[in-house]
């Protein structure tokens, strides 16, 4: 049977664009791609990239303070938020242009509209036309969610934060994961009074306990209020300010749950309502905030895609079930990236896209390697991590574990009379000497873990770390100079 295309990709984010480009340019496949929003997807348009720009912007007041301690006669004036925002928007436009041009140069035909699955070899576009393809790749990503809570639509989500007309004075961030902690630090740096309500006992669940503890301590020392054991229970317009917030929809407490759930999944309108919102947590903590920001996780974009009708199985959380080669139960349909709910990181989606092309278009079946993925949380200080946490290493029950760790005030801080400490930590298998995990809390820990990650991924032993000469004076030199374990477990 003749198809319109060899490959039809749905979703123009990092994973989809990479797969489409490589399939077209390296294998000569006839490829099309549909994107309903902006090219570049979450990472480029409403995630990693603008977030990192905000990290940079937010770091200047502390840098100025430090500069003063070094003797510089400098002061920080107010941030011109609209100016920064305009520049950021321009940079994102430029990057979106790069993504479009990558596709067109590779000969990928693009459709700027929503696409759904009509059958295992047919895609239906929003304009009603259909296209057939030998293979369909779903790379539709995910979106932020709000908790199922009356008035949840009064809060913003991460997609909205880049479009605020003005910064709030006082914000409540709900959640304690990557996004909550990164934006708590960003907004704090930008001069916003930040409070976190996190339902768990400590922020950054899943990371090494010592590392998350230090990040939390430093965040608190910089003025961020973190309430743990604080599940959000209620929120409502603060008394006397209803008119500022209610914009047509019934936002009263206890409004119809279905409507709330629908609203809860939508991104707030541009410049989402800023007005006093009262919020209360399960543990009794309550307060009035200019804005509530839900950083309570993300959900795969699989709704109304025609997936189940075509026979594609979804997991309970709505993510697409795939095998090690990113193939769904329908042989012609594959899925990569956040929509599969495996590891929600851009470089992982890109790798999944490359392995898909290798498997399907280069005749070399290659599973995706999800082991030992380094990552960084761009808090201030950053947390860089790869491999097992101390707890995971102990729980794997495969022999004793040695912990090498040191926490200190780095030279730059000490000179400026700063109090921030950094942490360098290695989790080592006592018998084989393999470094099972590396955890760094420090300025630029993201850069450090990228490099330390190579050694850990190669299976380096503690002795091989130690055989590497220190680079002095640096913070990371501690990774190769820790002679004695602080404990064995």
Name every residue whose Cβ is closer than 8 Å to that of residue 288 and which is 6 or more positions away in sequence.
170, 238, 276, 277, 278, 279
Position 327 contacts ligand NDP (CB under 6 A): no
Q: Work out how close the CB of 294 gets to ligand NDP at its nearest, in angstroms, rounded to a whole number.
A: 8
Cα–Cα distance, 75 to 66 (Å, whole number): 11
Q: Which is nearer to ligand NDP, 175 or 404 (CB)?
A: 175
- The CA-based diameter of the chain, rounded to the nearest angstrom, is 75
Cβ closer to ligand NDP: 107 or 147? 147
Cα–chain-centroid distance for residue 303? 21
Tell the smallest beta-carbon distance from residue 47 to ligand NDP (Å).
7
Number of residues forming the site for ligand NDP (CB under 6 A): 25
> Closest CB to ligand NDP among 377 and 401?
377
| 260: contact with ligand NDP by CB under 6 A | no
d(CA 271, CA 286): 25
Pairwise CA distance, residues 135 & 332, whole Å: 5
Q: Does 344 bind ligand NDP (CB under 6 A)?
A: yes
Check binding of 315 to ligand NDP (CB under 6 A).
no
* Smallest distance from ligand NDP to CB 188, Å: 17
The Cα–Cα gap between 65 and 135 comes to 56
337 binds ligand NDP (CB under 6 A): no
Cα–Cα dist 443/253, whole Å = 43
> Does residue 131 belong to the site contacting ligand NDP (CB under 6 A)?
no
Q: Is 205 in the site for ligand NDP (CB under 6 A)?
A: yes
Minimal distance, residue 201 CB to ligand NDP, in Å = 9
163 part of the active site: no
**Which of 121, 163, 439, 472 is an active site residue?**
472
The helix/strand/coil state of 147 is coil
Half-sphere exposure of 146 (CA within 13 A, CB side): 27
Could you give the CA distance from residue 171 to residue 275 in angstroms, rounded to a whole number?
11
Of 172 and 460, the one with the shorter C-beta distance to ligand NDP is 172
The piece of 116-124, 168-176, 262-270, 321-329 that touches ligand NDP (CB under 6 A) is 168-176
Structure-block tokens of residue 283: 């543990």
Contacts made by residues 191-196, CB under 8 angstroms, sequence distance 24+: 191/61, 191/78, 191/79, 191/167, 192/167, 192/168, 193/169, 193/223, 194/223, 194/224, 194/225, 195/170, 195/171, 195/224, 195/225, 195/226, 195/227, 195/287, 195/289, 196/172, 196/224, 196/225, 196/226, 196/227
Q: How far apart are CA 76 and CA 78, in angstroms?
A: 7
Which member of 276, 297, 306, 485 binds ligand NDP (CB under 6 A)? 297
Please pick, from the candidates 16, 40, 141, 176, the single residue that binds ligand NDP as defined by CB under 6 A: 176
Binding segment for ligand NDP (CB under 6 A), chosen from 7-15, 185-193, 246-254, 294-302, is 294-302
In the list 147, 213, 276, 485, the residue contacting ligand NDP (rule: CB under 6 A) is: 147
Nearest distance from C-beta of residue 344 to ligand NDP, angstroms:
4
Lay out the site mask for ligand NDP across 347-386 (x = CB under 6 A, - = otherwise): ----------------------------xxxx--------
C-alpha span between 208 and 387 (Å, rounded): 10
Catalytic positions are: 472
Judged by the rule CB under 6 A, the positions of this chain that interact with ligand NDP are 147, 174-180, 182, 198-200, 205, 231-232, 295-298, 344-345, 375-378
């Amino acid at each position: 049977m003749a198809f319109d295309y060899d490959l039809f990709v749905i979703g123009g984010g990092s994973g989809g664009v990479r797969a489409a480009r490589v399939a077209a340019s390296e294998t000569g496949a006839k490829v099309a791609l549909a994107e309903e929003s902006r090219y570049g997807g979450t990472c480029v348009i409403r995630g990693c990239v603008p977030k990192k720009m905000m990290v940079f912007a937010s770091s200047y007041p502390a840098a100025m303070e430090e500069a003063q301690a070094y003797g510089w006669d400098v002061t920080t004036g107010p941030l011109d938020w609209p100016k920064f925002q305009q520049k950021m928007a321009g940079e994102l436009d430029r990057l979106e242009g790069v993504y479009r041009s990558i596709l067109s140069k590779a000969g990928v035909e693009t459709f700027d509209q929503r696409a759904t699955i009509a059958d295992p070899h047919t895609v239906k576009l929003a304009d009603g036309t259909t296209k057939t393809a030998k293979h369909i790749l779903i790379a539709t990503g995910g979106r932020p969610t709000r908790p199922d809570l009356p008035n949840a639509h009064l809060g913003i989500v991460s997609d909205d934060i880049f479009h605020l007309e003005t910064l709030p004075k006082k914000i409540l961030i709900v959640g304690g994961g990557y996004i909550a902690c990164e934006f708590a630090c960003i907004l704090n740096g930008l001069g916003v009074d930040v409070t976190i309500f996190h339902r768990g006992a400590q922020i950054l669940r899943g990371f090494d306990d010592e590392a998350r503890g230090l990040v939390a301590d430093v965040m608190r020392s910089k003025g961020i209020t973190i309430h743990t054991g604080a599940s959000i229970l209620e929120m409502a317009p603060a008394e006397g300010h209803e008119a500022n917030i209610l914009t047509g929809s019934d936002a009263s407490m206890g409004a119809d749950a279905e409507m709330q759930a629908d609203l809860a999944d939508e991104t707030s309108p541009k410049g989402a309502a800023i007005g006093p919102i009262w919020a209360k947590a399960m543990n009794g903590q309550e307060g009035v905030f200019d804005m509530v920001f839900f950083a309570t996780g993300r959900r795969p974009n699989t709704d109304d895609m025609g997936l189940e009708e075509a026979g594609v199985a979804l997991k309970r959380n709505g993510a697409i079930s795939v095998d090690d080669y990113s193939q769904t139960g329908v042989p012609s349909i594959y899925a990569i990236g956040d929509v599969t709910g495996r590891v929600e990181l851009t470089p992982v989606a890109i790798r999944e896209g490359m392995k898909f092309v290798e498997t399907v278009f280069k005749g070399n079946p290659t599973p995706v390697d999800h082991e030992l993925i380094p990552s960084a949380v761009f808090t201030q200080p950053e947390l860089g991590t790869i491999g097992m946490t101390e707890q995971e290493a102990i729980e794997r029950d495969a022999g004793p574990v040695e912990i090498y760790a040191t926490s200190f005030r780095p030279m730059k801080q000490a000179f400026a009379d700063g109090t921030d400490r950094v942490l360098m930590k290695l989790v080592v298998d006592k018998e084989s000497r393999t470094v099972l995990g590396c955890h760094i809390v420090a300025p630029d820990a993201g850069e450090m873990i990228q490099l330390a990650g190579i050694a850990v991924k190669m299976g380096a032993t503690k002795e091989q770390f130690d055989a590497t000469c220190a680079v002095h004076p640096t913070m990371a030199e501690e990774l190769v100079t820790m002679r004695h374990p602080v404990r064995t477990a």
